Amino acid sequence: MLPGLKKRVINFHDVLMYVAIFQKHLRLMTLIVCFSWLSGVVFYVYARPVYFSRALIKVDSVNQQVSVEKVFSENTRYNSLVPRLTASHIIERTAAKLGVISEYRELMRTKIKKLTGRINSEGNIEIEFYPYSLDWSKRWTETMLKEFLEYQENRRAEEWEQRRTNIQKDIEDLQKLAEQNQISVSEMRSQLDTDRAKLRFEELINLPTELVHVKQRLDALGRVRLDIINTDLTTIEKLARISAVSEKLPVGTTVTNSTTSPPPPSNDTDPASNQPVPRSDSLNIQIVTPGGTQSGGAWRELVDKIHKLEMQREQLGVNFLPTHHKMQAIQKQVDEVNQQLEGELQNATSQIEMEFSYILDREKALEAKFPEYLKRQNELKAAQQKVSFTQGSQTRWNGYMANRMKQKEITDYALDREKTILTYSGLIEFRDLPISPNRFSLFLYTTLLGCFLALGIPFLIEYLDHTLSNLEEVESTFQIRGLGIIPKMEGTEASVALIDREHAKEHNLLENFRVIRTNLLSMGSLSKPPHVLMITSAMPKEGKTVVSTNLALSFAQTGAKTVLMDTDLRRGRLHRLFGYRKQPGLSGVLLGQHSLDEAIRPTPHENLSIISAGQHVDTGTELLGSQKFTDIMTELRKRFDRVVVDTPPVLGLSETSVLQGQMDGVLFVIWSAHTPIKAVKSAIEILQGNGANFYGFVLNRLDLSATANYYQYYYYSHDYYYQYQPTHQLENS
């Protein structure tokens, strides 16, 4: 077939399937549409009518020198008019005016469907009203505007009265406070003496600066004292550092706790050098005399002298050894000068210690005076603040009173001034008849809803159908060949188990089993020939016995010697179809009660024999798995050309798994549109797990009267066979 032609055939097949689904659920779809219309009629009869009106409120704006919004606690902006006009309390007042006293939510639920407002292009307000009453539709907007204006006027009057009362009370209070302040100003001026406080403070005004200078001096002297005890520095370096910070004390200055020798190390350390800070521990008292001060320039002359002696020693060292008397003489002079430098260092150290002690005493004295300095400073500030406050308080009270008087005047002016004027201009649009429910719209909506549900529900039912009714779908899902279908037959199992080949109405059913037989025999070229064939299904009552019986009869009609054996030792029913008793049967042979020849019983049909299940036993699995059953199957293979085995269902029972070793292959029966896909999948997995050789499956009890199946399996219908197969061929088949 050409690809294009194949595509057109597939599309035509899909169209037929959709048409079949439509015809299958036509009554349901019609019922859904009718129910949708009926719902619309009920809604139209019992729904409350909704009326409509649109009114115009003209808005005029007036420019005012005084903003009403600033005077009264209300929002007078232009874009706030609609929310204020349609507020919940205004709606409640309007409804009460029209004779209905209720809360806002109850009104919106029982009396009003919708109330909206908007500002049109001309700056006026349009109110759209949807009530359940025709009278309210006419009168609502005008009444609502009157109630709004009345409410606004009353509210402003109440607020104006409250504001006037508050302002008048504030003015009276301010006057009393001003009088009291005037008295306190006079009394305070007589009590405060700011000049005396200022003079006392100026006596110590330089104390913080002097204290900072003293602390800086102490830090400098402390660093020099650390340098004096530093062994890494030479005498000259120590003198240089002392000279850099040394200052002469005034003659006659008394110094306590000073020593003339370098102080012993203390436990205190300098944070910068991590070395002990020297301190004076003696209690000597010294007085600075004119001779006790060091000029600071003598040690520099000694340093120059040492440099000159060093130069002479270097010059002589070129010609003389160190032991020469000239070299020794120069060395002696150098030693004398060094001794003088040591003396200078001791004098300078004594001077530094005296100055350090003096500055330390000075620091203590200044710190002792600092609380007095703070006290006098606070006294001066307090006095100045009191004076400043008392001088300006009267001015402030006067300003407060003037401001409140101005607010009183503004309140009186703004009471009768309205920035926005609202005027009712009448109804723009009004409908005497209800706008809802609308008959045409309701019919249209219910029709669309009914059509949507009528199309959606059938397809949803088909989507939720988890059974199998399509041969190709089963083949693609489980990768097992479909050997044929068996249409649904009317009547009991006994009446349809053996199809009468002479009955004209059952010729098509015979042909179905011929198709299955032909497909089975053709499997011999692909796998093991179907000498011993097992017929099984996933669940009970799927038609295994009917299929196995008619398939065995079909084999017998070809001239093959066939035996049909029932292995369902719990509830075998094969003997009923042929009118035999249970015994002798397979269970009796396995238990040794009967021989195989006694169990094999002939039938009215040529070349067909049966072996019934026999007496009911509870140990069927053990018997079927015994060596005795293996011997029986070996004997049957020798005697018969075809052995058709009717077995119990796969799910829930173990007989089928035990029988796998004795079978050439399996024919799986599926009840169309009944067996769940999950059950079929589980049964096939169990059989495959036990090594089953699948010849294929049969789709049983397919309802060809259903439109969907008719279009899909039209070549299985009675008319097809009756039209294209001559009667003499049926009789000779």
Q: What is the CATH code for 471-732?
A: 3.40.50.300
For residue 410, the model assigns a pLDDT of: 66
For residue 733, the model assigns a pLDDT of: 29
For residue 322, the model assigns a pLDDT of: 82
The answer to whether the CB of 37 falls within 8 A of the CB of 458 is no
Encode pLDDT of 227-270 as tens digits: 788 777 888 877 887 877 766 655 555 555 544 344 444 444 44
Q: Give the C-alpha separation, 385 to 393, whole Å.
A: 12
For residue 176, the model assigns a pLDDT of: 78
630 Cβ contact partners less than 8 Å away, ≥ 6 residues apart: 662
Q: Give the C-alpha separation, 221 to 266, whole Å.
A: 15
Which 3-state string (H, E, C) describes 449-517?
A: HHHHHHHHHHHHHHHHCCECCCHHHHHHHHCCCEEEEEECCCCCHHHHCCCCCCCHHHHHHHHHHHHHH
Q: Give the C-alpha separation, 271 to 209, whole Å.
A: 25
For residue 20, the model assigns a pLDDT of: 66
Q: Select from 715, 44, 145 the least CA-distant residue to 424.
A: 145
Q: Which regions of the chain are under pLDDT 70?
A: 1-14, 16-17, 20, 24, 62-78, 182, 184-199, 201, 246-297, 384, 386-398, 401, 404, 407-419, 462, 465-466, 468-469, 489-508, 524-527, 704-733
Q: Which sign does the torsion angle of CA 188, 193, 198, 200 carry?
A: negative
β-pair type (601-602, 608-611)? antiparallel
Q: CA–CA distance from 541 to each of 185, 412, 537, 571, 670 (Å)?
A: 117, 100, 9, 11, 10
Paired strand residues for 670: 699
For residue 362, the model assigns a pLDDT of: 82
Other beta carbons within 10 Å of 335 = 11
Other beta carbons within 10 Å of 397 = 19
For residue 130, the model assigns a pLDDT of: 93
Helix residue spans in 80-133 (DSSP H): 81-85, 88-97, 104-110
For residue 524, the model assigns a pLDDT of: 60
DSSP state of 704: T
For residue 426, the model assigns a pLDDT of: 92
For residue 491, the model assigns a pLDDT of: 54
DSSP per-residue codes, 347-410: HHHHHHHHHHHHHHHHHHHHHHHHHHHHHHHHHHHHHHHHHHHHHHHHHHHHHHHHHHHHHHHH
